[in-house]
Chain A
Amino acid sequence: MSPGSGSADGVLPDLSGLRLGSADDAVSPHVGLRFGYGTNGFANHRLDDALAVIADLGYDGVALTLDHHHLDPFAPDLAAQVDRVRGRLGALGLDVVVETGARYLLDPRTKHHPTLVSADVARRVDFLRRAVRIAADLGARCVSFWSGVLPAGADPAAAWVQLRAAVAEVLPDAEDRGVVLGLEPEPGHLVQRLADALALRRDLGSPAALGVTLDVGHCVAVEPVDAAACIREAAELLVNVQLDDMLPGVHEHLEFGEGELDLGATLAALTDVGYPGLAAVELPRHSHAAPDVAARSRTALQRAVRMFAAPGRVSAAGGRVLADSDGVLAVSGGMLADPAGLDDPGRAWLDRGAAAVRDEPAAIRTLFPAAGREVGRAPTHPETDPQGLVHGTVDDAARVRLLGALDPDALAAEVPDLYRYGDDAEKRGVLRGLAPTGVPAGIGVPLVQDALRANDIRLVAAAMGPYATNLDDHSWRHGVLKCLFVGVPLDAVAGWRHRADPELRRMVADYAAERTAAGREVPADARRLLADPQEGA
């Protein structure tokens, strides 16, 4: 993440700190966010070439729009083609999600037709079922789809019923093949906003195989709240994310910085909710300059990730981050840039401290222990989280910012000792900083494991944040059970709905049975985990 450490071509900063998972294992847990690029933004490239360019730029995966020239779902030798593309993705180390928004794939005369709300719905349903099979064969966990524009004169209520029935027809295929469907709210469509997608899902009985695809640019264009708020609302139902900029009221996919998206806050929200999937750039109208646009987008994403953990970027006005030197970005910091409760002297101390750490990394050794005395120790969300178990405390956030001022080498060098010699609060600060600063798993995971052996519930809570995605399944399940056992709120466990599996539910059910047998109350969070509709997902 150091701006100075360039890649071979000297253009792109090294991203090794952000790509911590094993690239050839698409389901391995990763730290922080994984970025992809949509192949519909490479419409003028052969698919193989597009994949190579995207991989070379350092993306973690692709959002593959099935199209007549990109893995044609109606090709006579489809099976062989799928095998070949799967091999290609594997060789390049790319994860994949399947997109179904091709323009003239089903109808050469009418763009995007037929849809799930038009008369000839059967062809769209057939296509989606086909897409599910392709996704399963490719090793993609998600198929993304939209509802369609209500035809002129059509009755919205009837269209809703048709849409519901059509989705219900595709769901069994998805369930059978272990693929999840992502319904994408699309401006102008029957399902236009996140609330519509959530309503349809409820209408269908909240099936586990149906989630939400969120295009963060669409949030700017049509949602009543910003993208970060949409992400927090969708939270565990998010199965696919598309990244682009947009202007309010205008459905035009723009490069980052050209619209009003708060990219830093958006990425921070994705980190906060523990979103485990790909977040892929969606710029379908930029194919004419695809390699350059993809490179610029990559740089913007890296910069935003760095900035949402970078303390020097915070203005005194309230956490909004200044535009970057080249004016491309206006980023604010989500959970990391503006800890609630930070007063002016505290902020000034933190700004000075972060600058000192950037100048001389060893300065963090004396600043880290002093953070609580200087900025306070109050929980950032006192009303809902008085102990700071879920969202942390002001000093936690301050320490995370200090960590964010270290370059990757210094971070790797300092973090083990900051933890080893840290008091309870300093250890917490390290734990909460692991994911946002991108500490390599080889360094961070042993610290998380140490914290999970502790009985201090604040350490346990901090250990089960987003970085816990790096734990193996057994350790993670025991971490969750420990939370239930000692009274750490389940909400402190990042992404628990995504990762809770039948074995965890068995463990929790046994725990509940033990409590019941002893005549003791079963903790509400245990009941919540057992009752979650995602069961079996």
Chain B
Amino acid sequence: MRIFDPHIHMTSRTTDDYQAMHAAGVRALVEPAFWLGQPRTTVGSFTDYFDGLIGWERFRAAQFGIRHHCTIALNPKEANDPRCVEVLDVLPRYLAKDGVVAVGEVGYDSMTPAEDEVFARQLQLAIEHRLPVLVHTPHRDKANGTTRTLDVVRESGIDPALVVVDHLNEVTVGMVADSGCWMGFSIYPDTKMDEHRMVAILREHGTARVLVNSAADWGRSDPLKTAKTGRAMLDGGFTEAQVDAVLWANPVGFYGQSGRLNLDELPGFTGAAETFSGNSVLRGARPDVVLEAER
């Protein structure tokens, strides 16, 4: 089972997670820019974070044979803090980067006027940069928030095929399916969705335009939920090809619209790497050595 996790916050995860993810079949992922547990207070805090997403985290993932991409945006929660809004001015620099495959996470948290404005402005940035958009739907007042989200997307004029609306559930999936946007599902241990409910949704709506992610972050979450959903699909009678469509082909199709996915195998993690054995310098990873230096 090859897996592309289209939404996971690796900055908050350990190297054990990377190792387990690679063992479970994860070979590529997208890390959306989002809020940290602790609110930010300055633009500099954002840029250092963005730099990590296009630098250090990409390198860290590569040590474990995983291709790392990211999305860049001002998240909805911090769109309400005037100290943070100025980060919008530096976004264009980051949206030009290799490996930045979408604008995101954008959308609503508390559905304030400030969120309205920042959301709309970032949809325009996506249009200008010809990038897809990853839209977060609110945890509170979700159905109403999703309706409003789809209205704003429609008003922006962006092609719905370039938009994924994430964190959907049984209540919100239908309206997004009708909108032409892609449907994202975050599979969590307790909240959001679980893998068995996911299988039921796939049975009802099919696999087209569906993205399944772990959305693992600094909270209680599980970076292997993608693999577990794949197994639940197989147990539920889906074919391997259907599992591959959901866990690989769909995220590749969606984010591939950016023209910036890099899915080449990493040196040191392919069969060809064996030809380098005997010369440790030429081994791609040397994870033992690198891990030592991280501290």
Q: Which of A483-523 contact B (CB under 8 A)?
A: 485-487, 489, 523
Which residues does chain A contribute within 8 Å of B284, judged by CB atoms?
386-387
Q: Which of A421, A425, A489 contacts B93 (CB 8 A)?
A: A421
Q: Does A373 contact B (CB under 8 A)?
A: yes
A sample of 5 cross-chain residue pairs with beta-carbon separation below 8 angstroms, ordered by A number, consists of: A369-B97, A421-B90, A423-B54, A456-B59, A457-B293
Interface pair B281/A525, CB less than 8 Å apart: yes
Which residues does chain B contribute within 8 Å of A384, judged by CB atoms?
282
Nearest 6 interchain pairs by C-beta: A423-B54, A487-B289, A456-B59, A486-B293, A487-B286, A424-B55
Q: Among B107-115, B162-170, B259-267, which stretch is in contact with chain A?
A: B259-267
Closest to A371 in B: B98
Known: A386-B267, A421-B93. A372 touches B98 (CB 8 A): yes
Q: Does B99 contact A (CB under 8 A)?
A: yes
Q: Which of A366, A370, A487 contacts B281 (CB 8 A)?
A: A487
Interface pair A486/B58, CB less than 8 Å apart: no
Q: Does A401 contact B (CB under 8 A)?
A: no
Q: Does A201 contact B (CB under 8 A)?
A: no
Interface string of A131-157 (1 = CB under 8 A from B): 000000000000000000000000000
A385 CA to B262 CA, complexed, in Å: 20
Interface pair A425/B98, CB less than 8 Å apart: yes
Which residues does chain A contribute within 8 Å of B262, judged by CB atoms?
377
A372 CA to B259 CA, complexed, in Å: 12
A423 CA to B58 CA, complexed, in Å: 10
Distance in angstroms from B295 CB to nearest chain A CB is: 9
Interface pair A455/B56, CB less than 8 Å apart: yes
Which residues does chain B contribute within 8 Å of A373, judged by CB atoms?
98, 259-260
Say what secondary structure dominates the interface of chain B.
helix
Q: Does A427 contact B (CB under 8 A)?
A: yes
Which residues does chain B contribute within 8 Å of A369, judged by CB atoms?
96-98
Closest to A388 in B: B267
Q: Which of A369, A457, A482 has the most CB of B within 10 A?
A: A369
Q: Does B128 contact A (CB under 8 A)?
A: no
A20 CA to B289 CA, complexed, in Å: 36
Which residues does chain A contribute within 8 Å of B268, judged by CB atoms?
386-387
Say what secondary structure dominates the interface of chain A.
helix
Closest to B99 in A: A423
Interface pair B282/A386, CB less than 8 Å apart: yes
Distance in angstroms from A490 CB to nearest chain B CB is: 9
Q: Which of A386-409 contact B (CB under 8 A)?
A: 386-387
Closest to B289 in A: A487
A373 CA to B96 CA, complexed, in Å: 11
Which residues does chain A contribute within 8 Å of B54, judged by CB atoms?
423-424
Q: Does B292 contact A (CB under 8 A)?
A: yes
Interface pair B55/A486, CB less than 8 Å apart: no
Which residues does chain A contribute within 8 Å of B56, judged by CB atoms?
424, 454-456
Q: Does A86 contact B (CB under 8 A)?
A: no
Q: Does B294 contact A (CB under 8 A)?
A: yes
Distance in angstroms from A535 CB to nearest chain B CB is: 22
A377 CA to B93 CA, complexed, in Å: 21
A426 CA to B55 CA, complexed, in Å: 10
Distance in angstroms from B140 CB to nearest chain A CB is: 35
Closest to A386 in B: B267
Q: Does A303 contact B (CB under 8 A)?
A: no
Q: Does B14 contact A (CB under 8 A)?
A: no
Q: Does A458 contact B (CB under 8 A)?
A: yes
Interface pair A485/B292, CB less than 8 Å apart: yes
A377 CA to B94 CA, complexed, in Å: 19
Which residues does chain B contribute within 8 Å of A485, judged by CB atoms?
289, 292-293
A384 CA to B275 CA, complexed, in Å: 11
Distance in angstroms from A171 CB to nearest chain B CB is: 35
Interface string of A363-381 (1 = CB under 8 A from B): 0001001101100010000
Q: Which of B90, B96, B264, B280 contacts A487 (CB 8 A)?
A: B280
Q: Which of B219-269 contact A (CB under 8 A)?
A: 259-260, 262, 264, 267-268
Closest to B286 in A: A487
Distance in angstroms from B243 CB to nearest chain A CB is: 30
A458 CA to B56 CA, complexed, in Å: 11
Which residues does chain A contribute within 8 Å of B98, judged by CB atoms?
369-370, 372-373, 423, 425
Interface pair A486/B289, CB less than 8 Å apart: yes
Q: Which of A377, A421, A425, A457 contacts B290 (CB 8 A)?
A: A457
A486 CA to B286 CA, complexed, in Å: 8
Interface pair B294/A455, CB less than 8 Å apart: yes
Q: Does B35 contact A (CB under 8 A)?
A: no
A458 CA to B59 CA, complexed, in Å: 9
A386 CA to B280 CA, complexed, in Å: 12
Which residues does chain B contribute within 8 Å of A372, judged by CB atoms?
98
Q: Using A424-B58, A457-B290 as known contacts, list a sample of 20 further A-B pairs with CB atoms less than 8 Å apart, ordered by residue number in A.
A: A370-B96, A373-B98, A373-B260, A385-B282, A387-B284, A421-B93, A421-B94, A423-B51, A424-B56, A427-B55, A455-B56, A455-B290, A455-B294, A456-B55, A485-B289, A485-B293, A486-B293, A489-B281, A523-B280, A525-B281
Which residues does chain A contribute within 8 Å of B286, judged by CB atoms?
487
Which residues does chain A contribute within 8 Å of B55, judged by CB atoms?
423-424, 427, 454, 456
Interface string of A441-480 (1 = CB under 8 A from B): 0000000000000111110000000000000000000000
A387 CA to B273 CA, complexed, in Å: 11
Which residues does chain B contribute within 8 Å of A524, judged by CB atoms?
280-281
A370 CA to B143 CA, complexed, in Å: 39
Which residues does chain A contribute within 8 Å of B276, judged by CB atoms?
386
Q: Which of B38-96 contact A (CB under 8 A)?
A: 51, 54-56, 58-59, 90, 93-94, 96
Which residues does chain B contribute within 8 Å of A482, judged by CB atoms?
293
A485 CA to B289 CA, complexed, in Å: 7
Interface pair B58/A487, CB less than 8 Å apart: no
Which residues does chain A contribute within 8 Å of B289, judged by CB atoms?
485-487
A482 CA to B292 CA, complexed, in Å: 11
Known: A369-B97, A373-B260. A387 touches B267 (CB 8 A): yes
A136 CA to B96 CA, complexed, in Å: 56
Which residues does chain B contribute within 8 Å of A456, judged by CB atoms?
55-56, 59
Which residues does chain A contribute within 8 Å of B280, judged by CB atoms?
487, 523-524
Which residues does chain A contribute within 8 Å of B292, judged by CB atoms?
485-486
Interface pair A366/B267, CB less than 8 Å apart: no
Which residues does chain B contribute within 8 Å of A425, judged by CB atoms?
98
